[in-house]
Chain A
Amino acid sequence: MNKMSRDLELEKRIDAYVKGKLDEEQAMELWEDLLERPDYIELLETELGLKSIFEQRANNDNDKRKNTSSAEEESVIYSLQKYWKWMAAAAAIVILIVSVNILQRNTDQSLNNLAVKKFKLAETLSSAKILRSQMSRLSPADSLLNRGFEAALSGDVDKALATYDKIIDGYSDDPAVVKAYLNKGLIQYNEKKYQQSISSFEHVLDKVSDNNPILAEKAYWYLGNAYIHIDQLKEARDAIHNVYIMDGIYRKSANRVLKKLDYKLSNMHSDDGNQ
């Protein structure tokens, strides 16, 4: 592509197409020209990929803005609580007892809150690799993976699960089966079927190859979260600890959860000792 000859008119039409400004007839005319310029088809795909990255960033920024405003609200509430505590300092002994109770309760609550309630499927589901090389072919299992992805995003989770089962049953040696288990586990997790999701994530860990640490890290992370939901904290800790030592994208979150889990587990042990 080093000596690609430019066609400015075509570029302008591609730009309009990416922005959704061409009607069907114009779009078909554009594609007629693109069939003669496969180099521009590749650029079109890159342009669409970029567009989606910027759109995603814009969405994330919006989410952050929403979170910031709710954090500000919380901060006002927190200030009031703090002020109230000072006002109540006169009743020191009573407050001490109340505070200990509150602290204990907060730790329990925050532990429950530690586990992710639901994973955003659009961000977490794995799909097949997109084929940038025009000569490449997608395997049947990868095609099914994409179908499952589409079904899940359109809300048809039963169809998505059935598609993932098809991969698991029919293509047990295909690398796509690992992603199928992961996606199945995520859907089960979001459906609050934690025990089933644990089984799916464990399959991922059984089958994932050593050269795919990202997938393994994700599986441990989801697994740990699922164990927290069913209150199996020791297992949760083991899974989250694996995430932590893998030093990947979830390390910070894993560290935060580990501290809480360790606190809770040490309390449980001391309770056991007292009994």
Chain B
Amino acid sequence: MDYSKLVTAIKENDSKKINELLVALRPRLIAFLRVHMNASQEDAEDCAQDSLMDCLEVIKEDRLNDPGRVVSYILSTCRNNYLKLQKKHRPELMENISENHRQSPRQLQSLLDEEQQRLLEWCLSQLKKEYQKFMQYWFDHPDVHTNKVAQHFDISVSNAWTRKHRLIRKLNECYQEKSKL
């Protein structure tokens, strides 16, 4: 998605194009808020919507200093609005909240219900044993350099990255397919 088109569409008041771009952008911002900011689905939806409205206003009024940095601006707006929302709801946690966001992204475990986790595990079990071991090794050794992983499985470093990418894609496709059943 070329976000500079959003700036152009807003300035030209092209509401059809604006809507098209916002529809594509909104779920991505919700994902950012949920995964990175640990927002609940409800908060993420509200916050993404409010932030988009804020950004539209700023772009419309030509208050954006660097239109080339529109993505960064939208993301920062989302982040700041979410922190404000948190401050409003839980002021006592505000001192720790920025610190928390420097840690790992949210573990989806808390959001995956048993059925969904079972589906992903089922997909994992459908991989060849060799590939299951590869994934397990990758996640069990987060501090190991990819060289080591490659060495362990007797493949090149480039192949290690390719294998990981293909397996994640395959699992994602399997999961999506099974979720639709």
B96: CB under 8 A from chain A? no
Q: How far is the CB of A186 from chain B (nearest CB, A)?
A: 13
How many B residues have CB within 8 A of the partner chain?
A: 60
Contact string, A118-146, partner B, CB cutoff 8 A, digits 1/0?
00000000111111111101101011101
B153: CB under 8 A from chain A? no
**Which A residues touch B75, using CB under 8 A?**
28, 31-32, 35
A44: CB under 8 A from chain B? yes
Contact A49 B108 (CB under 8 A): yes
Q: How far is the CA of A214 from the CA of B98 in the complex (A)?
A: 39
Contact string, B62-81, partner A, CB cutoff 8 A, digits 1/0?
00000000011011100100
Known: A24-B101, A35-B71, A58-B140. A53 touches B113 (CB 8 A): no
Q: Sort chain A's interface into a size bin.
A: 35 or more
Contact B111 A130 (CB under 8 A): yes
**Which A residues touch B25, using CB under 8 A?**
35
B15: CB under 8 A from chain A? no
The chain B residue sitting closest to A45, CB to CB, is B108
Secondary structure type dominating chain A contacts: helix
Q: Which of A1-31 contact B (CB under 8 A)?
A: 1, 4, 6, 8, 11-12, 15, 17-20, 23-24, 27-28, 31
Contact A52 B109 (CB under 8 A): yes
Q: Which of B20-40 contact A (CB under 8 A)?
A: 24-25, 27-32, 35-36, 40
The chain A residue sitting closest to B24, CB to CB, is A38
Contact A126 B36 (CB under 8 A): no
Q: How far is the CB of B171 from chain A (nearest CB, A)?
A: 6
Q: Which of B113-133 contact A (CB under 8 A)?
A: 113-117, 120-121, 124
Known: A23-B102, A53-B117, A129-B116. A38 touches B28 (CB 8 A): yes
Known: A43-B168, A47-B168, A149-B110. A53 touches B104 (CB 8 A): no
B18: CB under 8 A from chain A? no
Contact B124 A50 (CB under 8 A): yes
Q: How far is the CA of A50 from the CA of B45 in the complex (A)?
A: 25
**Which A residues touch B79, using CB under 8 A?**
28
B147: CB under 8 A from chain A? no
**Which B residues touch A55, using CB under 8 A?**
107, 109, 139
Partner of B40, one of A6, A132, A146: A146
Partner of B113, one of A28, A48, A130: A130
Contact B169 A43 (CB under 8 A): yes
B173: CB under 8 A from chain A? yes
**Which B residues touch A144, using CB under 8 A?**
42
Contact string, A255-273, partner B, CB cutoff 8 A, digits 1/0?
0000000000000000000
Q: How far is the CB of A147 from chain B (nearest CB, A)?
A: 6
